[in-house]
Amino acid sequence: MASASLLDDISHIYPPSSGALVTYGGAAALALLAYLIYSTVVPDDSGSIRTLGGFPVLTAWAFFTQRYDFFWGNFQKHAAPHFKFSVLHHQVVALRGEEARQAFFNSKSLNFSEGYKILLGGAPSLEDINIQSSGEGGAWFNKQVALLFTNKQRLTENIPTLVEDINRRMESWGQEGQIDPFKSIYDLVFQMTVRMASCDELANDAQELEKIQELYWILEKSATPTAVLLPWFPGRAKKAKEVATRQLYMKLSHYVDLRREAKVPTNNAIDILVGQGRSNPDIIAFILGVILTGVINTGIQSCWALLFLGTNPEWRAKVQAEVDSIIEKHTNTTSRAEPLHKRLASVPTSVWEDEMPVLELVIRETLRVIFTLTLLRRNVVEDITVSGGVIRPGDFIAYNVDDAHRNPDIYTDADRFDPGRFLPGREEDKKATFAFLGWGVGRHPCTGMKIAKLEIKLIVAMMLAAYDYDVVDSAGRPSKNLPEHDRNDIHQARPVGEPVYLRFERVVE
Q: Domain map of the chain by residue range?
A: 126-506
Q: Mean per-residue pLDDT for 469-473?
A: 96
pLDDT at position 238? 79
Q: Mean per-residue pLDDT for 341-353?
A: 96
Q: Mean per-residue pLDDT for 415-436?
A: 97
- Is pLDDT larger for residue 208 or for residue 235? 208
pLDDT at position 121 over 90: no
126-506 has CATH 1.10.630.10 classification: yes
Give the count of alpha carbons within 13 A of 8, CB side only: 9
- Is pLDDT larger for residue 302 or for residue 132? 302
Q: How far apart are the C-alpha atoms of 239 and 42, rounded to whole Å?
A: 29
pLDDT at position 124? 67
Residue % of the chain over a pLDDT of 90: 67
CA-based Rg of the chain, rounded to a whole angstrom?
A: 24
pLDDT at position 29 over 80: no
pLDDT at position 290? 93
A 10 A CB-CB count for 40 gives 12
Contact 9, 235 (CB under 8 A): yes
Q: pLDDT-based confidence at 221, cuts 50/70/90?
A: confident
A 10 A CB-CB count for 379 gives 22
Contact 325, 465 (CB under 8 A): no
Q: Mean per-residue pLDDT for 15-32?
A: 44
pLDDT in tens, 133-150: 776 667 888 899 999 999
pLDDT at position 139? 80
* Nearest C-alpha neighbor of 238 from the set 153, 122, 330, 132: 122
pLDDT at position 23 over 50: no
The torsion angle over the Cα atoms of residues 176, 182, 188 and 189, rounded to 10 degrees, is: 150
Minimum mean pLDDT range among 38-42, 66-70, 122-126: 38-42
C-alpha torsion sign, points 272, 276, 279, 285: negative
**Averaged pLDDT of the chain:** 87
Is residue 446 a known part of a binding site? yes
Q: Give this prediction's pTM.
A: 0.88
pLDDT in tens, 271-317: 999 999 999 999 999 999 899 888 989 999 999 999 999 999 999 99
- Is pLDDT larger for residue 345 or for residue 222? 345
Contact 78, 415 (CB under 8 A): no
- Is pLDDT larger for residue 40 or for residue 128? 128
pLDDT at position 334? 55
